[in-house]
Amino acid sequence: MSSAKSKKIHILDTTLRDGTQAEGVSLTVDDKLKITRKLDWLGFDYIEGGWPGSNPKDVEYFSLVGKEDLGTSRVTAFTSTRRKNTGVSEDAILGKVVEVSPQACCVFGKSWDLHVKTALGTTLKENLAMITDSVSYLREKGIEVIYDAEHFFDGYAANPEYALRTLEAAAAGGASFITLCETNGGALPHGIYSAVKDVAARIDVPLGIHAHNDSELAVANTLEAVRAGCVMVHGTVNGYGERCGNANLISIIANLQLKMGYECIPPDNMKRLTEVSRYIDEIANLVPDPRQPFVGNSAFAHKGGIHVSAIKKDSSTYEHISPEQVGNQRRILLSELAGASNIKLKSREFNLDLEKDTEKVSSILRKIKNLENSGYHYEGAEASFELLMRREAGNYRKFFDLEGFRVIIESEEDGTLRSEATIKVSVDGVREHTAADGDGPVNALDNALRKALEKFYPTLKDLSLTDFKVRVIDARQGTAAKVRVLIESRDPGSEWGTIGVSENIIEASWEALVDSIEYKLLREESSG
């Protein structure tokens, strides 16, 4: 759909404010500035940076963010209406907002008469004055005001006339947008649509929606609100937020822009969604959800042979959009469910021409199925799979030969355990015999192997192991059970996973370690 014909939806990101209320999320001022730059790069209209009256960190953020050269985003503060029975010029919280001088401010107030009487302990009339006074005061100071009608949908259900009067009070104060907040996260899409339709018929100020995900409907509720007339959307990247989170802007933008004909960000920026999603997870020190729609690592992953065969002919058979539209990529998984199409498509990724080599494809397929039956699992270990495929296809050379290794674990007098690995390898007939200590037997083996090989392959110095996982495959076998070891590795240009399986955890670890190093060397040889 042409962007020229698309209706504009204003995006207000509250990752830095509402998102930081999520359990396990804590951002430094520097983190918040980095995320601000990334959200501006994506093309958001408003970035809600925090509440200046609530903590020193947010005051510092606003003092620094004004020096940023932002292209599209208006940095927005957050605050409440004035206190009851207090003049706006004497209200300390509103004064903090004026001090930091943001471009815009979200002011929240009460829409539910229950909250006015119980939480605020004031009259319905005074609450209306608090709203109008606060909005008009900030407008007089040259600050754009977006009014957040907290608990609007609950208030509208309980007392619709009063809830609407609170919106009229914000409009009278000069709010540029009025946001209907689904604060408790319990509403259903059809109720959201109906209420927004009613409000749009009564209120002339442009409407927004702010939804929470307690019923796992925040995205759906947001889409329905837009369909009913809202032109502003609040949310957070990846759905961070208190309790079950806020509406996920990544999914909202993808649905609105790719499927519903609205424009939320510049069309060329849609390909940045995956990068932004993963970048912010990294800054927040959170593991990206592989199953997150649109941008997750598994969002366009295909495992079943029948699916892969169809994808090969026409990707729309099992994909609702092209992954490239949101900056993601298709992944073909390998398992006992794989078919010949999986192998052929993976061979293209590895620049192996197996399209017409039915015998090799069948051989690789049999090998995978047998190995998976023995406990191997290649979905998280594609580097090991590529090495397997190259060995079976005859497109592989050994970078070194192992002549033997030994691992010693000793208990010191103070009770600490000491691990030492001794290893013998040869590279092109040149033998190397080395030893190294480690925090444990696997770490000692890794240190010894790399120590032996670095004189031949100096770039191994920039290889690091980032994760090590062990799983017992059949616990009923007790200490004789097979274990599966998965190792994740990284260098400055990439990251990859390898696998090893054995009844002996050291042997399984060794297998995964060797694959990791061989894969690193293979990549460098191919790119060199």
Task: Convert the pLDDT of each residue in 418-442 to its tens digit.
Answer: 889 999 999 998 999 999 998 888 8
Q: What percent of the chain has pLDDT over 70?
A: 91
Per-residue pLDDT at 374: 77
Q: Read off the tokens for 403.
A: 């002549």
Classify residue 102 as exposed, middle or buried by CB count within 10 Å of its CB (0-12, 13-18, 19+): buried
Beta strands 494-502 and 483-491 are antiparallel
445 and 473 co-located in one domain: no
Task: Using alpha carbons, list the distances in angstroms from residue 142 to 4, 137, 517.
Answer: 31, 9, 60
Assess if residue 387 is contained within a domain: yes
| Tokens describing residue 114 | 């229950």
Whether 231 and 207 have beta carbons less than 8 Å apart is answered as yes
- How many Cβ atoms are within 10 Å of 330's Cβ, its own excluded? 18
Cα 183 to chain center, whole Å? 23
Provide the strand spans (E) within 59-199.
74-80, 104-110, 144-150, 177-182
Q: Does residue 23 fall inside a structural domain?
A: yes
Mean pLDDT across the stretch 251-258?
A: 98
Residues 390 and 481 in one domain: yes
Domain assignment present for 103: yes
What percent of the chain clears pLDDT 90, i.e. is strictly above it? 63
Tell me what pLDDT residue 305 has: 64
> What per-residue confidence (pLDDT) applies to 3?
43
Sequence-ordered list of residues with C-beta below 8 angstroms from that of 451, at least 6 positions apart, any chain: 434, 436
Q: Are residues 66 and 207 in the same domain?
A: yes
Residue 47: inside a domain: yes
User: What is the average per-residue pLDDT within 183-209?
Assistant: 97
Look up residue 186 and give its amino acid: G
User: Residue 375's pLDDT is what?
Assistant: 78
pLDDT value at position 475?
58
Whole-number pLDDT of residue 526? 74
Note whether residue 291 is domain-resident. Answer: no
Helix (H) or strand (E) holding 48: strand 46-50
Closest by Cα among 288, 285, 291, 296 to 24: 285
Q: What is the pLDDT of residue 391?
A: 82
Q: pLDDT of 394-423, one tens digit each?
A: 777 889 988 888 999 888 777 788 889 999
- Count Cα neighbours of 178 within 13 Å in the Cβ-side half-sphere: 31
Rounded to an integer, what is the distance from CA 125 to the centroid of its chain? Answer: 44
Q: What is the mean pLDDT of residues 445-470?
A: 89
Structure tokens at 215: 């019923």
427 and 363 in a single domain? The answer is no
Indicate the residue among 373, 408, 430 that finishes a domain. Answer: 373
- In this structure, the strands spanning 417-427 and 430-438 are antiparallel
Q: pLDDT tens digits, residue range 84-120?
A: 999 999 999 999 999 999 999 999 999 999 999 999 9
Do 46 and 27 lie in a common domain? Answer: yes
Q: Taking residues 333-338, report their average pLDDT.
A: 54
Residue 299: alpha-carbon gap to chain centroid = 12
Residue 289 lies in a domain: no
Q: Are 513 and 445 in contact (CB under 8 A)?
A: yes
Q: Are residues 181 and 327 in the same domain?
A: no
Confidence of residue 1 (pLDDT cuts 50, 70, 90): very low
Task: Tell whether 174 and 308 lie within a shared domain.
Answer: no
What CATH number is attached to the domain comprising 80? 3.20.20.70
Q: What is the dihedral of CA 374, 380, 381, 385, to 10 degrees?
A: 70
Helix axes 124-140, 160-173, angle to 10 degrees: 20
> Per-residue pLDDT for 476 more than 70?
no
61 and 94 part of one domain: yes
Which domain covers residue 243, as residue numbers? 3-283
Mean pLDDT of all residues belonging to the chain: 89
Whether 150 and 192 map to the same domain: the answer is yes
Q: What is the pLDDT of residue 2?
A: 40
Query: How does residue 297 score in pLDDT terms, banded at 50, 70 and 90?
Result: confident
Pseudo-torsion of CA 368, 373, 376, 380, nearest 10°? 70
**How many domains does the chain divide into?**
4
Provide the CATH number for the domain around residue 497: 3.30.160.340
pLDDT tens-place string over residues 501-526: 998 888 999 999 999 999 999 888 87
Which residue would you say has higher pLDDT here, 288 or 164?
164
Rounded Cα–Cα distance for residues 291 and 288 (Å): 9
Predicted pLDDT at 252: 98
Q: What is the pLDDT of residues 374-395, one digit of tens each?
A: 777 776 688 888 888 888 777 7
For the cut 90, the answer to whether the pLDDT of residue 197 exceeds it is yes
- Tell me which DSSP letter residue 408 carries: E
Q: Is the pLDDT of residue 481 over 80?
A: no
List, for residues 35-70, the tens digit of each pLDDT value.
999 999 999 999 999 999 788 999 999 999 999 999
* Residue-level pLDDT at 4: 46
Report pTM.
0.72
| pLDDT(341) > 70 | no
d(CA 328, CA 66): 33
Q: What is the pLDDT, as a whole number, of residue 46?
A: 98
Structure tokens of 158? Answer: 């309980």
